[in-house]
Structure 1
Amino acid sequence: MTRLLTLWRKSLSVQLLASMLVALFVSQAIGMCISWDKFIADLRAASRYELSSRSEAVARLVETVPPALQSEIARVNATDYTRFWISEDPAPDLEDWVTAAFERFQVPLRDLLNGSGEGAPTDGASEKTQIPAGASEALFMEGLAWTGPAAGGGNLPAQGRTLDFATRNGAGVIVPLSDGRALNVAYYKQMMPTIWKTHLPLALTLTAIFVSLIGVLTVRSIIRPLRQLTRAAETLGRGEAVTPLRACGPDDIRHTAEAFNRMQERLHRFVEDRTRMLAAIGHDLRTPLTTLRLRAELVEDPDLQERMLATIAEMQAMTEATLSLMRQETNAEPTRTIDLSALVESICEDLAEIGQKVIFVGGERVNYRCRPDGLRRSIRNLVENAVRYAGKAEVRLVSTRSAIEIVVEDDGPGIPLDRLEEVFAPFFRLEGSRSRETGGIGLGLSIARAIARQHGGDIVLSLRQPGLKAAIVLPA
Structure 2
Amino acid sequence: MRRRMECHDEEWRQEWHKQWHARWNEKVQGKRRWRRSLRVRLVLMFVVLAMVMAAVFMGGMKRAFSTGWAEAARPLLIDYNDRLVAELGTPPDVARAQALVNRLPITIRIVGPKVNWNSNPGNNDHSGGADHPGNWMHDHEDLFGGEKWFVRPTADGHQVIFGWSPKLWEQAPRVIGWATLGVLLSCVLLAYAYVSRLLRPLIDIREGAQRFGRGEFSQPIPIRRNDDLGDLAQRVNTMADDIQAMLDAKRGLLLALSHELRSPLTRARLNAELLPATPEGQAEREALLRDLNEMRDLISDLLESERLASPHVALQREPVDLAALIRETVAEMPGAQQVHLDLADGLPPHAVDRMRIRLLVRNLLDNALRYSNGAPRPPCVSLRAALDGKRQGVEIEVRDHGPGVDEAQLDRLTEPFYRTDGARARATGGVGLGMYLCRLIAEAHGGELMVRNASPGLQIVVRLV
Tell me if both proteins adopt one fold, taking TM over 0.5 as the criterion.
yes
1:395/1:408 contact within 8 Å kept: yes
1:269 CA displacement = 0.5
State whether structure 2 residue 327 is matched by structure 1 residue 352: yes
Q: Which residue does the alignment assign to 2:254?
A: 278
Q: Which residue does the alignment assign to 2:459?
A: 469
Structure 2 CA distance for partners of 1:320 and 1:225, relative to 1, 3 Å? farther
Q: Which residue does the alignment assign to 1:164?
A: 147
State whether structure 2 residue 188 is matched by structure 1 residue 212: yes
1:276 CA displacement = 1.9
State whether structure 2 residue 15 is matched by structure 1 residue 26: no
**Higher RCO structure, 1 or 2 (CA under 8 Å, sep 6+):** 1
Which secondary structure state, in structure 1, belongs to the residue aligned with residue 435 of structure 2? helix
Q: 5+ residue gaps in structure 1?
A: 60-73, 75-81, 89-98, 149-162, 175-183
1:164/1:172 contact within 8 Å kept: no
2:323/2:343 contact within 8 Å kept: yes
Rounded to whole Å, the distance in 2 between the matches of 1:312 and 1:209 is: 80
1:260 CA displacement = 2.7
Provide, for residues 275-331 of structure 1, a one-character-per-residue CA deviation record: whole Å limited to 9, x for no partner: 221133123423443443455466456457765664454344333444455552681
Structure 2 CA distance for partners of 1:19 and 1:323, relative to 1, 3 Å? farther
Calculate the TM-score normalised by the size of structure 2.
Answer: 0.59
Structure 2 CA distance for partners of 1:108 and 1:419, relative to 1, 3 Å? closer
Which secondary structure state, in structure 1, belongs to the residue aligned with residue 451 of structure 2? strand
Q: Could you tell me which amino acid in structure 1 is paired with residue 363 of structure 2?
A: N
Rounded to whole Å, the distance in 1 between the matches of 2:72 and 2:354 is: 82
Q: Which residue does the alignment assign to 2:290?
A: 314
State whether structure 2 residue 375 is matched by structure 1 residue 393: no
Q: 5+ residue gaps in structure 2?
A: 1-27, 332-339, 373-377
Structure 2 CA distance for partners of 1:459 and 1:278, relative to 1, 3 Å? same
1:348/1:359 contact within 8 Å kept: no
Q: Could you tell me which amino acid in structure 1 is paired with residue 401 of structure 2?
A: P
Structure 2 CA distance for partners of 1:236 and 1:137, relative to 1, 3 Å? same
1:415 is matched with which residue: 386, 395, 403? 403
Which secondary structure state, in structure 2, belongs to the residue aligned with residue 107 of structure 1? helix
Q: Which residue does the alignment assign to 1:37?
A: 63
2:109/2:162 contact within 8 Å kept: no
1:140 is matched with which residue: 96, 119, 133? 133
Q: Could you tell me which amino acid in structure 2 is paired with residue 445 of structure 1?
A: M
Q: Could you tell me which amino acid in structure 2 is paired with residue 289 of structure 1?
A: L
Which secondary structure state, in structure 2, belongs to the residue aligned with residue 359 of structure 1? strand
Structure 2 CA distance for partners of 1:40 and 1:15, relative to 1, 3 Å? same
2:386/2:395 contact within 8 Å kept: yes
Residue pairs, 1:69-468, within 5 angstroms: 83-85=85-87, 107-109=98-100, 125-126=119-120, 135-138=127-130, 139-140=132-133, 164-165=147-148, 170=150, 188-189=163-164, 205-249=181-225, 251-293=227-269, 295-296=271-272, 299-300=275-276, 302-303=278-279, 310-324=286-300, 326-327=302-303, 328=305, 331-334=309-312, 347-354=322-329, 357-360=340-343, 381-383=363-365, 385-386=367-368, 389=372, 390-395=378-383, 408=397, 410=399, 412-416=400-404, 421=409, 424=413, 426=418, 430=423, 443-448=433-438, 459-465=450-456, 467-468=457-458
Which secondary structure state, in structure 2, belongs to the residue aligned with residue 242 of structure 1? coil
Structure 2 CA distance for partners of 1:218 and 1:282, relative to 1, 3 Å? same
Calculate the TM-score normalised by the size of structure 1.
Answer: 0.58
Structure 2 CA distance for partners of 1:311 and 1:409, relative to 1, 3 Å? closer
Higher CA-based Rg? 1
Rounded to whole Å, the distance in 2 between the matches of 1:262 and 1:44 is: 68
Structure 2 CA distance for partners of 1:52 and 1:212, relative to 1, 3 Å? same
**Aligned pairs, how many?**
392
Structure 1, 317-326 or 12-21: larger mean CA deviation = 317-326
Structure 1, 258-267 or 371-380: larger mean CA deviation = 371-380
Provide, for residues 143-168 of structure 1, a one-character-per-residue CA deviation record: whole Å limited to 9, x for no partner: 989x99xxxxxxxxxxxxxx732xx6
1:16/1:219 contact within 8 Å kept: yes
Structure 2 CA distance for partners of 1:187 and 1:427, relative to 1, 3 Å? closer
Q: Which residue does the alignment assign to 1:64?
A: none
1:216 CA displacement = 2.0
Structure 2 CA distance for partners of 1:470 and 1:241, relative to 1, 3 Å? same
Provide, for residues 411-470 of structure 1, a one-character-per-residue CA deviation record: whole Å limited to 9, x for no partner: x431255599499465779589979xxx766642343357779999774331335x4323
Provide, for residues 333-374 of structure 1, a one-character-per-residue CA deviation record: whole Å limited to 9, x for no partner: 4489xx9xx99x954442134555543569x99xxxx99998
1:247 CA displacement = 1.0
Rounded to whole Å, the distance in 2 between the matches of 1:216 and 1:361 is: 53
Provide, for residues 165-223 of structure 1, a one-character-per-residue CA deviation record: whole Å limited to 9, x for no partner: 2xx6x27699xxxxxxxxx998654899xxxx999976873453132122121122134
Provide, for residues 212-259 of structure 1, a one-character-per-residue CA deviation record: whole Å limited to 9, x for no partner: 122121122134334434443444333334322221147343233223
2:326/2:358 contact within 8 Å kept: no
What is the root-mean-square deviation of aligned Cα atoms in Å?
Answer: 5.9
Q: Could you tell me which amino acid in structure 2 is paired with residue 257 of structure 1?
A: A
Structure 2 CA distance for partners of 1:321 and 1:219, relative to 1, 3 Å? farther
Q: Which residue does the alignment assign to 2:20?
A: none
